Amino acid sequence: MSNWDFLVRYLRFSPNKPCRFWVQAEGKASRCMLDGSVPICCGYWCDELGSGLYVVICEKLKEIARSLPYTVQTRLDDVDLMLKGGLIPPSHVALLGESRGVELLLRHLIIDALEKGYMCVQMVLGEPRVNVEGQGVLLGDLGSFYDAHPSVHYQVEEVARLERNSLERGFQGLLITFDNASYLRSRRRATKPFFFEEQKDKTKLKKTVCVCMYNGSTINEINRRFIMENHSVTLYVEEPLKIKILKTKWPGKMLSVTQ
C-alpha cells in the first residue's frame, strides 16, 4: 500500500482538497500545523500520475504514512492528525481528566492496539477501568509495581521484560497502561511515587507505548511540571469526549498546542 493510500484510508485525506495540516488564517501567513512552519506548498500534498494514481509529495506526510501501520490511534481524526497519525512507540503518554472520558479514550487505544498486533497490559489496583477481551490482553498489579518493588531498576526492567515477552510471542509491540489516578486515591499521602516515569526516557524500550492516567484533581496533587516534563505526550480529556493536546514531543523538537 502506498503512502497516498495510507493517508486516504486512515486519515481521510482527499486528493481534491488541500492538505489537512495546511491552515490559512485571515491576516496571517499560511502555516503547517505539523511543526508551525510557514510552508510554500499552498496546501498541495499530492500529485496525480494519471489514471487515478497519486503520489505524496510532502516529506512530512510521507513520514506519517510510513508510521501508520505501527501507530496506536485514538480514532478521533483531528487528534490523530495532531499526533502525526497516532501514538508511535516508544512514547510516554499522560491522560488527564475524569474517568468517563478517559475510559472511552482508553478503550479506543486498547482496541486499536490489539488490531495493530500489540500486546496490551493494564496495570491496575483491583478491577480495570475498561474490559476488553482478546488474545494478548493482560492485567498487572499496580500496587506491587510501585510498592512491593519500589526500586526504579526493577520497574524499568519489568516493563522491558514485558516488551521482550510481547516480541517473543510475535506481537508488534507493547501497550501498557498505568491507572495512576486509582493509585493516588488509595495513597493519599503519596506526592510523587512515580520513579519509573522519571526514568522512562533513559530506558532502551523501542516497541512500547506507555499510557499513564490521572484524574482531573491529580494536577493539583502532584507537580504539574512533573507531568509535563516526564511524558512525551500529554492529553487533557473533557466531557463529552473532547481532547486538548497540551504537549507533543518529537525527536529534536517539542510542540505544545491546544486542540
For 224, phi then psi, to 5°, come to -60, -35
Task: Give the three-state DSSP class for 55.
Answer: strand
Q: The dihedral of CA 120, 124, 129, 132: what is its sign?
A: positive
Look at residue 257 in the predicted model and tell me its pLDDT: 39
Query: Which helix (H) or strand (E) segment is 248 a member of?
Result: strand 242-250
Q: What is the pLDDT of residues 200-235, one digit of tens each?
A: 666 778 899 999 998 766 666 566 777 888 888 999
**Residues 156-189: b if buried by 16+ CB within 10 A, e if exposed:** bebbbebbeebeeeebbbbbbbbbbbbbbeeeee
Query: How do strand 242-250 and strand 253-255 relate by DSSP bridges?
Result: antiparallel
Alpha-carbon distance of 86 to 73, in angstroms, equals: 5
Q: Which amino acid is at 10?
A: Y
Residue 259 has pLDDT above 50, yes or no: no
Residue 250 has pLDDT above 90, yes or no: no
Domain boundaries, the chain: 3-69, 91-255
**Cα separation values, 184 from 31, 88, 187, 214, 217, Å:** 41, 27, 5, 9, 10
Alpha-carbon distance of 225 to 230, in angstroms, equals: 8
Look at residue 45 in the predicted model and tell me its pLDDT: 94
CATH topology of domain 91-255: Rossmann fold (3.40.50)
Rounded to two decimals, what is the model's pTM? 0.84
**Residue 215 cell numbers, joined:** 484524574
For 236, phi then psi, to 5°, come to -110, 120
Residue 149 has pLDDT above 80, yes or no: no
- Cell 501508520, located at residue: 68
187 or 44: which leads in pLDDT: 44
Q: What is the pLDDT of residues 160-179, one digit of tens each?
A: 999 999 999 999 999 999 99
